[in-house]
């Protein structure tokens, strides 16, 4: 499931220059999307997902909300510097357009602004992106999710909020709970589509 979002807003993201773990390195020649920016993107997405687990904007709290990891599948375009934090703020702001059809977190098929609903999709497990797409200065992110699961109509499972123990994380076998952020962590060797899908 992929989403191209709005033009860049005039804001600046603070980026650290400290060493970033190998997970955020990119082997593509000529890229200007630094490991620090990649790390910031994943950190921001997970921070918003943590907030969403408790229920926000009148939407219900979730269960089985998974922590995103970075994927390099979407870094194939030439990149340019851009204020990434501003884009995440815009995506989060899309909740105003009514992503949910009702309090059970069912997706409204007539809703065009899908970036908020994808940002809080309980079935998403990784994120990849670029800051230039088709020559336009935009943040372009794709969230890895089992396609069959998106047909259920739910953006996320309604529940009691952030995970507290590993047994709270049941979507993917062998998942654990990151008690620091209340998000479930999928074992990387577990298939993207659970056995019952």
Pseudo-torsion of CA 113, 150, 194, 175, nearest 10°?
20
Residue 99: other Cβ atoms inside 10 A: 22
Of residues 51 and 179, which shows the higher confidence score?
179
**177 to each of 16, 45, 70, 127, how far by Cα in Å?**
27, 17, 18, 19
| Unique residue bearing structure tokens 């079935």 | 123
15: helix, strand or coil? coil
In tens, the pLDDT along 37-90 reads 777 777 887 887 888 888 877 778 888 888 888 765 444 433 333 455 555 455
What are the tokens at 87? 């884009």
Burial class of residue 78 in the structure, from the number of CB atoms within 10 Å of its CB (0-12 exposed, 13-18 middle, 19+ buried):
middle
What are the tokens at 129? 């992106």
pLDDT number for residue 19 = 36
Of residues 87 and 158, which shows the higher confidence score?
158
Does the domain at 2-7+24-162 match CATH 3.40.33.10? Answer given as yes
Rounded Cα gap, residues 136 and 173, in angstroms: 40
pLDDT number for residue 58 = 72
In tens, the pLDDT along 1-36 reads 322 222 222 222 233 333 334 444 444 444 456 677
In tens, the pLDDT along 96-120 reads 545 444 444 454 555 544 566 667 7
Pseudo-torsion of CA 139, 145, 180, 171, nearest 10°?
170
DSSP code of residue 58: T
Rounded Cα gap, residues 59 and 197, in angstroms: 26
Rounded Cα gap, residues 111 and 118, in angstroms: 12
Report pTM.
Answer: 0.62
Report domain extents, the chain: 2-7+24-162
**37 to each of 81, 88, 140, how far by Cα in Å?**
9, 13, 13
């Amino acid at each position: 499931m992929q989403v191209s979002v709005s033009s860049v807003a005039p804001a600046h993201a603070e980026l650290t220059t400290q060493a970033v773990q190998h997970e955020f390195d990119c082997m593509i020649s000529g890229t200007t999307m630094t490991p620090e920016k990649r790390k910031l993107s994943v950190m921001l997405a997970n921070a918003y997902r943590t907030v969403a687990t408790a229920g926000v904007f009148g939407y219900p709290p979730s269960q089985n909300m998974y922590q995103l990891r970075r994927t390099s599948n979407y870094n194939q375009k030439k990149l340019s510097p851009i204020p990434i934090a501003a884009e995440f703020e815009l995506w989060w702001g899309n909740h105003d357009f009514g992503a949910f059809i009702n309090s059970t977190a069912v997706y409204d098929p007539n809703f065009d602004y899908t970036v908020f609903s994808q940002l809080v999709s309980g079935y998403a497990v990784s994120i990849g992106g670029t800051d230039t797409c088709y020559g336009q200065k935009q943040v372009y992110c794709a969230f890895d999710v089992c396609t069959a699961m998106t047909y259920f109509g739910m953006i996320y499972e309604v529940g009691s909020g952030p995970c507290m123990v590993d047994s709270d994380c049941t979507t993917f076998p062998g998942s654990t709970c990151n008690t620091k952020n209340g998000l479930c962590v999928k074992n990387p060797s577990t298939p993207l589509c659970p056995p019952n899908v």
